[in-house]
């Protein structure tokens, strides 16, 4: 197994993004680490980033609102 994701894996991970620079920006935001480019411009994603259990938590926090914090904030407000 390669130490980085294949082009096909990156493409399926970034679907529907097709532009290489957009994929790199999205992956950088998702994993919180700068994603380098291969010589052909495609993102070079280390496999350890994808396989880390903590990365799943980062994905959730980056893509979904924190409903619990929102409800706490609303509950503190006086009508």
pLDDT single digits (tens) 15-66 = 888 899 898 988 888 878 888 888 988 998 888 877 665 544 445 555 566 7
Residue 31: the pLDDT is 79
Residue 56: the pLDDT is 46
Q: Can you tell me which residue has the tokens 């957009």?
A: 22
Local structure of 45: helix, strand or coil: coil
Contact 52, 44 (CB under 8 A): no
For the CA atoms of 34, 14, 23, 50, the dihedral, rounded to the nearest 10 degrees, stands at 20
pTM, 2 dp: 0.59
Residue 53: the pLDDT is 58
């Amino acid at each position: 197994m390669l130490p980085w994701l294949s082009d096909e894996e990156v493409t399926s991970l970034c679907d529907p993004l097709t532009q290489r620079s957009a994929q790199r920006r999205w992956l950088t935001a998702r994993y919180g680490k700068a994603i380098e480019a291969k010589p052909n411009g495609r993102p070079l994603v280390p496999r350890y980033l994808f396989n880390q259990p903590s990365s799943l938590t980062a994905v959730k926090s980056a893509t979904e609102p924190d409903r619990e914090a929102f409800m706490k904030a609303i509950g503190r407000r006086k009508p």
